[in-house]
Every structure is written in C-alpha cells, then in structure tokens.
Amino acid sequence: EAGVAQSPRYKIIEKRQSVAFWCNPISGHATLYWYQQILGQGPKLLIQFQNNGVVDDSQLPKDRFSAERLKGVDSTLKIQPAKLEDSAVYLCASLGDGHNEQFFGPGTRLTVL
C-alpha cells in the first residue's frame, strides 16, 4: 500500500511570495489533515478535511493560508503572502474510516527568507 505523498520536499521563498504544497493521501482514506511543525515543536493542526468538506480549520490563519480538497482525494495548501514565521515543516496525514492511526507523509520543509 502506497503511503502519503507530498511535494515538493523542500521550498525556499522570500517573504511576501506565494507558495503551494500538494498532498496525496493513502487511497480510500476519507480524512486528510495538514499540520504545521515549527522547529523544536510538535505538529500543530491547521486544517482537517472529511472527503471534500472542512471539519476543522479553527487554527488556520485564514488571512494568508488556504487549503482545498476539491475531489475528496488530493489536497493543496497555499500560503499567500508568506511571512518569516511561516518557516516550518508542513505535514500531511490521512486517516481511514474504522482505523485508529493517522499516517503521515514525509513533509515539505519551507524556508522563508
């Protein structure tokens, strides 16, 4: 079974630029998560999707962050415009119905200069 795929793995941008990250969850997993992991901290949930609907986006900075999962499969997370404090690893995870374990992708490491 293929795992959670993310791209790109690394991205370096300047502040005020835009950036997008892509995630393809494990096939058949209805729930998809985006986490932000700042260096030295644990992952923090940004947004949770159930199929193509948003379940929880209470911690998403909506003035600059957006995410979509239009067909209920893969998802895109966008930052526009980026700030220095957005430098972090962005992790995608998925959860299958009836399972009790989230599966994580390798992450995208974003550096904002």
Partner 1 sequence: AQSVTQLGSHVSVSEGALVLLRCNYSSSVPPYLFWYVQYPNQGLQLLLKYTSAATLVKGINGFEAEFKKSETSFHLTKPSAHMSDAAEYFCAVTPSGSARQLTFGSGTQLTVLP
Pairing state between β 44-50 and 75-79: unpaired
**Residues constituting the chain:** 113
Q: Which amino acid is at 4?
A: V
The two three-digit tokens of residue 35, written as one number: 């986490």
| Nearer to partner 1 among residue 30 and residue 81 (C-beta) | 30
Output 22 or 104, the one with its CB closest to partner 1: 104
Which positions lie near partner 1, rule CB under 8 A? 4, 6, 9, 31, 40-45, 48, 56, 91, 93, 95, 99-102, 104-107, 109
User: Given the complex with partner 1, which of 15 and 99 has the nearer CB atom?
Assistant: 99
